[in-house]
Amino acid sequence: MRQVLRRRFDADLELVKALLRRWDPIGVQPDAVASPCRYEYDAYAPQLLPLLYSGASVRQVADRLEHIRTAMIGMAACRASDERFAAELIQLRPTQPVFAADDAFPPPLSPKAAEMTRREWRELGFFYNRDDLGKQWQIIGSRAGLLRLADLLEKYSSNSSFAVSSDHQHYGPHMYLEIMTWDKAGIDAHAIFGTQKDIARLANVIRSGVERARVGDVLIVGSDYSDQCKYNIALSVDDDRFDPSSADPQLAAG
């Protein structure tokens, strides 16, 4: 059974790689016969597949493609192409294989992808994961790392680029933590949302709690932000030596 599930995951990964070769933001034609650049984009496939497994929207996948294109590869933005290929990726409709607890899932990233992912977690300052059974966004970091979450919320709240409803920003290597401008405050499986004033208020709630917290504390933020929250934020305070990348199972698998 384990081998069957692993083969299914590998098959999904190959489908994503094939689409990335057609996406080809650099223009190296990796699908050409005997192309020396055939594997140019393979390292990015493991970053996209978890998004597809989580049921991400076309917009979320397009945002990730745009991030890869502009921030990682260094090419100019081309939103139309990213949205078109994001829609194709969504159409793959992969379903995450269910592995036993002792299985090595997700499989390790390539060295290049692992290096990029590790760097992005450390730049973010904290690790996050969405627990759909517990209806929580689980966020782990040192006090300094968790204060980085308050910082990015504050930065978002004061940025005029995010003043209009539905404006949003994604964070982290896997890009499924989203802050979104909306006319009411709340937290759900899709995003942390609210007006910019709401988001600034949330930043203050998190900052105040983290500054008083001790190592080992878990701070729950939800109803104190909005009574419309479908999910809570669970902030786990680790010690100053905590490396956010160490909590990523794809990196641990390597």
Q: What percent of the chain has pLDDT over 70?
A: 89
Overall average pLDDT of the 10-15 stretch: 83
* In-domain check, residue 42: yes
Overall average pLDDT of the 134-153 stretch: 94
Contact call for residues 100 and 242 (beta carbons, < 8 A): no
Give residue 146's domain range. Answer: 125-252
Q: Which residue has the higher pLDDT, 110 or 156?
A: 156
Res. 161 pLDDT band, cuts 50 70 90: very high
Q: Check whether 171 has a pLDDT greater than 70.
A: yes
Beta bridge partners of 142: 238
**Residues 58 and 170 reside in one and the same domain:** no
Contact call for residues 230 and 246 (beta carbons, < 8 A): no
**Residues 82 and 140 reside in one and the same domain:** no
Q: What pLDDT is stored for residue 176 in this prediction?
A: 78
Tens digit of pLDDT for each residue in 28-83?
Answer: 888 877 778 888 888 788 778 877 877 788 988 898 899 889 888 889 999 999 99
Q: Looking at 68, 91, 114, which one is the last position of a domain? A: 91
Q: What pLDDT is stored for residue 230 in this prediction?
A: 92
Residues in the chain, overall count: 254
Res. 101 pLDDT band, cuts 50 70 90: very low
Tens digit of pLDDT for each residue in 13-35?
Answer: 889 999 999 999 999 888 877 77
Q: How many domains does the chain have?
A: 2
Q: Check whether 91 has a pLDDT greater than 60.
A: yes
Q: Looking at 41, 71, 91, which one is the last position of a domain? A: 91
Overall average pLDDT of the 191-213 stretch: 96
**Residues 241 and 140 reside in one and the same domain:** yes
Residue 178 backbone dihedrals phi, psi, to 5 degrees: -125, 135
**Residues 130 and 223 reside in one and the same domain:** yes
Q: What pLDDT is stored for residue 253 in this prediction?
A: 53
Q: Check whether 103 has a pLDDT greater than 70.
A: no
Q: Which tokens belong to 16?
A: 């994503």
pTM, 2 dp: 0.66
The CATH number of whichever domain residue 21 belongs to comes to 1.10.340
* In-domain check, residue 165: yes
* In-domain check, residue 219: yes
**Residues 248 and 184 reside in one and the same domain:** yes
**Residues 238 and 138 reside in one and the same domain:** yes
**Residues 166 and 233 reside in one and the same domain:** yes
* In-domain check, residue 112: no
* In-domain check, residue 48: yes
* In-domain check, residue 103: no
Overall average pLDDT of the 114-129 stretch: 91
**Residues 146 and 219 reside in one and the same domain:** yes
* In-domain check, residue 130: yes
Q: What pLDDT is stored for residue 13 in this prediction?
A: 83
* In-domain check, residue 71: yes
Q: Which tokens belong to 225?
A: 């932000």
Overall average pLDDT of the 198-222 stretch: 95
CA distance linking residue 14 with residue 96, whole number of Å: 14
> In the chain, at which residue ranges do the beta strands (DSSP E only) sit?
127-131, 136-142, 168-171, 177-181, 186-187, 192-194, 218-221, 232-238
Q: What is the mean pLDDT of the chain?
A: 86
Q: Looking at 91, 113, 142, which one is the last position of a domain? A: 91
Q: Which of 7-16, 50-59, 225-234 has the highest mean pLDDT?
A: 225-234
**Residues 15 and 76 reside in one and the same domain:** yes
Contact call for residues 137 and 233 (beta carbons, < 8 A): yes
Q: What pLDDT is stored for residue 60 in this prediction?
A: 86
**Residues 10 and 52 reside in one and the same domain:** yes
**Residues 139 and 85 reside in one and the same domain:** no
**Residues 76 and 24 reside in one and the same domain:** yes
Q: Check whether 1 has a pLDDT greater than 70.
A: no
